Amino acid sequence: MRVQEQPPHAFGISPPSQEGSFLYFRAMKELAIDNYTYDLPDEKIAHYPLAERDLSKLLIYKNGSIQEDIYRNISGYLPEDSLIIFNDSRVIEARIVFTKSSGAKIEIFCLEPHESYGGIPKALGEMQHVKWICLIGGASKWKQGQILEKPFLFQGKEFSLTAKYLEKRMEVFVIELSWNVQDLSFAEVLHYTGQTPLPPYIKRSAVNSDIQRYQTIYANESGSVAAPTAGLHFTDHVMQSLNSKNIAKEFVTLHVGAGTFKPVKAATMQLHEMHAEYIDVTLNTLERILAFSGKHITAVGTTSVRTIESLYWMGIKILGNPEISETSLAIGQWFAYDYQSATSSASESLTALKNWMIKRGLKKIITTTSLLIGPGYRFRIADVLVTNFHQPRSTLLLLVAAMAGADWRKMYDYAISHDFRFLSYGDGCLIFRDDPSL
């Protein structure tokens, strides 16, 4: 899904007119991705997780210095009486392999529901048939209108899942999936027929252990096609250690799309289109974040950062237009750069969002964000980032550079030379923004 950018007057507000804000916006659009790459040898990519999650190595970057430890000890580095935010999205079994009568294999990778459903939860709850936006492996072997069939067992009986090719859209396809079990939701059908969608750089088939290990221990809301990998290292032991240091925990939901693996192919960011992802935040969580405004907030994963920073920009929209509709709260790729010099504090912005929700009787906000966070971005809510090591030329690496500044390269050089494991099943880092109080 892509967020359609709208002119500022659509929200009843005008963008800041300061020349500095305009120049920064232009600089971000002209940012050259060639400056955010590095050599990643294949042997540095982790193709399997460690036997114990919290024994993964942890690089700690703070005030320009680097040290290393393991995730099991992460609470010792976090500020006391602070807040840590996790993404509780659950990975769905999004890969379905069909076999034609000729023996040819066709793989359907379910990316996101058809726009007619208005969100992932509704589409996953559909019974008997559903439309989904998909990638297709072996698409040349599948003609439009042709129906594929995959048998599966449920309660000792054989049923079937069928797929019909409806439409081609640029790089993706619209597929109608149907099944002849009246009491099974699509989420359940995926469980019986699909496979864990490992990232493309893990060059092996999914095995049974991936069902558990490519999932955080706190995964709750189904909808991601890729794991929020920073959280894969957290265990019950680590969670308990956070409690002992009086670090509060909260959960937001951002359903990770396949776009997270997409390298930036354009020379500059102006020509790269960010893929929008669904976010889901409860009023209770928003109030907890608001209570820690002005204190230290740690985000576990780039997805958690994008979610909580998007909340700030939603509040900015509401401050400009208190009657804004829920659908207009979606955050586009460049919105934050149009309004980078906004002067409202995090507390003011989040309070506006909270009051807007209460006025409408909303217990949660469900919308999308395609917010691009890159070098020079001024963080409004997140102070500390826990994240894995990311692919060269990726928007995730740009976010790391936004948090660590030019020292992102020093961090990655250190990790390469000190036997850290990279990408989804690899090690990670704890990055403190340049703030002497942290």
pTM: 0.91
Strands 157-169 and 172-179: antiparallel
346-359 and 302-320 helices, crossing angle to 10°: 70
Regarding whether 416 and 278 lie in a shared domain, the answer is: yes
Taking the chain (438 residues) in runs of 10, the rounded mean pLDDT of each run is 48 49 67 93 96 98 97 97 97 94 90 89 94 92 88 92 92 93 93 93 92 97 95 98 97 88 80 88 98 94 98 96 94 89 92 98 95 92 97 95 96 98 98 73
Per-residue tokens: 323: 């009657």
Count of beta carbons in the 10 Å neighbourhood of residue 174: 16
Regarding whether 321 and 239 lie in a shared domain, the answer is: yes
Count of beta carbons in the 10 Å neighbourhood of residue 361: 7
Predicted confidence at residue 3, as pLDDT, reads 47
Predicted confidence at residue 22, as pLDDT, reads 52
Task: Give the DSSP letter of residue 145.
Answer: T
Regarding whether 309 and 182 lie in a shared domain, the answer is: no
Q: Which amino acid is at 105?
A: K
Q: Do 269 and 29 touch, CB atoms closer than 8 A?
A: yes
Predicted confidence at residue 341, as pLDDT, reads 76
Residue 182 burial (C-beta neighbours within 10 Å; 0-12, 13-18, 19+): exposed
Q: Is residue 207 part of a domain?
A: no
Q: Is residue 244 part of a domain?
A: yes
Task: Give the DSSP letter of residue 204.
Answer: S
Q: Do 233 and 56 touch, CB atoms closer than 8 A?
A: yes
Q: Is residue 37 part of a domain?
A: yes
**DSSP notation for 331-360:** BPTTHHHHTTT----HHHHHHHHHHHHHHT
Regarding whether 105 and 62 lie in a shared domain, the answer is: no
Predicted confidence at residue 11, as pLDDT, reads 47
φ/ψ (deg, to 5) at 330? -55, 135
The residue out of 163, 195, 227 marking a domain boundary is 195
Q: Which domain, by its residues, includes 252?
A: 8-90+217-432
Regarding whether 171 and 319 lie in a shared domain, the answer is: no
Q: Where are the alpha helices (DSSP H) in 171-282?
A: 186-193, 208-213, 236-244
Regarding whether 318 and 246 lie in a shared domain, the answer is: yes
Predicted confidence at residue 272, as pLDDT, reads 83
Biggest distance spanned by C-alpha atoms of the chain: 68
**DSSP notation for 60-127:** EEETTEEEEEEGGGGGGGSPTT-EEEEE-EEE---EEEEE-TTS-EEEEEEEEE-GGG-SHHHHHT-B
Regarding whether 99 and 83 lie in a shared domain, the answer is: no
Q: Is residue 212 part of a domain?
A: no
Q: Is residue 206 part of a domain?
A: no
Say which residues have a Cβ less than 8 Å from residue 278's Cβ, sequence separation at least 6: 1, 112, 119, 120, 223, 253, 254, 255, 366, 367, 368
Q: Is residue 3 part of a domain?
A: no
Regarding whether 316 and 188 lie in a shared domain, the answer is: no
φ/ψ (deg, to 5) at 175? -120, 135
Predicted confidence at residue 237, as pLDDT, reads 98
Q: How far apart are CA 176 and CA 304, in angstroms?
A: 32
Which pairs with CB-CB distance under 8 Å and at least 24 residues apart come from 33-36? 33/264, 33/266, 33/267, 33/268, 33/269, 33/272, 33/393, 34/267, 34/393, 36/392, 36/393, 36/397, 36/398, 36/401, 36/408
CATH of the domain at 293: 3.40.1780.10
Predicted confidence at residue 9, as pLDDT, reads 45
Regarding whether 104 and 77 lie in a shared domain, the answer is: no
Assign 162 to helix, strand or coil: strand
Domain count, the chain: 2
Q: Is residue 328 part of a domain?
A: yes
Regarding whether 179 and 77 lie in a shared domain, the answer is: no
Q: Which string of b and e fits 245-266 if b means at least 16 CB within 10 Å? A: eebbebbbbbbbbbbbbbebee
**DSSP notation for 369-405:** E-----TT---SS--EEEEE---TT-HHHHHHHHHHG
Regarding whether 324 and 244 lie in a shared domain, the answer is: yes
Picking from 89, 326, 33, 331, the residue whose alpha carbon sits closest to that of residue 231 is 89
**Neighbour order of strands in the sheet with 147-154:** 95-99, 105-113, 129-137, 172-179, 157-169, 147-154
pLDDT in tens, 377-412: 999 999 999 999 999 999 999 999 999 999 999 999
Q: Is residue 331 part of a domain?
A: yes
φ/ψ (deg, to 5) at 131? -110, 135
Predicted confidence at residue 261, as pLDDT, reads 66
Q: How far apart are CA 422 and CA 415, in angstroms?
A: 9
Predicted confidence at residue 263, as pLDDT, reads 74
Regarding whether 271 and 415 lie in a shared domain, the answer is: yes
